[in-house]
Amino acid sequence: MVNFDPNYDIPRDLEGFGEESFDPQWPNGARIAISFVLNYEEGAERTYHNGDGHSEPYLWEKGASGGYKEGAPYVNAESEYEYGSRVGAWRLLRLFKEFNYHWTTYAVAQAFKVNPNFAKACVRDGHEVATHGLRWLDIWDYDLQAEKDYIVESLKLLREVSGEMPVGAYYGRGTPNTKALFPEAFREAGGEMLWCSEAYNDDVPYWVDLPAENNLKDEDKKGMLIVPYNYDCNGKSTAVLVSSADISVRADGKFHMSPGFVGSDMYEKYLKATFDMLYREGGKIMNIPMHSRIIGKPGRSEALRNFMKYIQGHEGVWVTTRREIAQHFKGKFPYRPGHRA
């Protein structure tokens, strides 16, 4: 049963910035900020060897038809995840080095721990590390203290393995308390949270008030900066899984979901269409979620490369990390209680 604490409830905002939206005034007059995000989960997913009872049924090549097996490792599924860490992750690293682009890594701490060379290579090449959990599991039933401990442990392990303390977070499999709990957990881990992406409701960053700060003086409040995420540009797709709690969506994940991307050409066209609209509007973020076991496959990586070549042909394109987006926004539009920007 979920442990929902009203003290961590951030109210819904159905108005946003309204008809005119909001111009974040990207650096050097850029028309668009592009945030590539690598969801790195391989080695932290459910596996028989970690006592989960079965191997991960979610987001591998067989999709909904793959199913899962009880009582022993399902080698087919586990081998697909191994492809992501053994091959796909390194292919993406080489691809981004070719273009001199940087991504934000939504890193599951256990996944980095079992592939520390990749963790260190991400930092070496200038890619941001953000927390995506301690393991790639649903924590819906965790109470507040258990969840805070889980976040703190993930941050400490990511810092230990990669050498970089995260300043941002995205779980996607948290509780209703997760978003407002993050800042406390970051401080307890010895860090400071700069951004949170536990939201899908806008194309520009914005501030939210934190319920835990309601009784503070305005000058003592810090608020929380939201850098919204999305699922629609994700190369993965929705699958029918073990339980409803397991159903979620990511962009390149739509190759493994229904309805989703049928081929790499559809994925490439959708990315270009999204870019064209946001570029024309100006002042927006384009999120491009990736998974090394999915977009790291050769044909999909080539489609991604075609998209990267496409945006290179446009002026005013800022390919950046979420940390840099947050730093820019915070500098231009400091937090004011009760204001989105």
Total Cβ atoms within 10 A of residue 298: 11
Q: How many CB atoms lie within 10 A of CB 222?
A: 15
Phi, psi (rounded to 5 degrees) for 263: -145, 170
Q: Where are the domains of the chain?
A: 21-57+68-332
Query: What is the C-alpha separation between 327 and 341, in angstroms, rounded?
Result: 14
Burial group, residue 310, by CB count within 10 angstroms (0-12, 13-18, 19+): middle
Residues in the chain: 341
The pLDDT tens digits along the chain (341 residues) read 888 999 999 999 999 999 999 999 999 999 999 999 999 999 999 888 888 887 786 776 776 556 667 888 888 888 898 999 999 999 999 999 999 999 999 999 999 999 999 999 999 999 999 999 999 999 999 999 999 999 999 999 999 999 999 999 999 999 999 999 999 999 999 999 999 999 999 999 999 999 999 999 999 999 999 999 998 887 654 333 333 333 333 455 544 555 455 578 999 999 999 999 999 999 999 999 999 999 999 999 999 999 999 999 999 999 999 999 999 999 999 999 999 99
Can you tell me the distance from the alpha carbon of 159 to that of 120, in angstroms, rounded to the nearest whole number? 10
**CATH class for domain 21-57+68-332?**
alpha beta
Reduce the DSSP state of residue 128 to 3 states and report it: strand
DSSP 258: S
Residue 309: exposure state from Cβ atoms within 10 A (0-12, 13-18, ≥19): exposed
Position 79 scores a pLDDT of 86
Asked whether the bond before 337 is cis by omega within 30 degrees of 0, the reply is no
Strands 32-40 and 235-236, how do they pair? unpaired
- pLDDT at residue number 232: 87
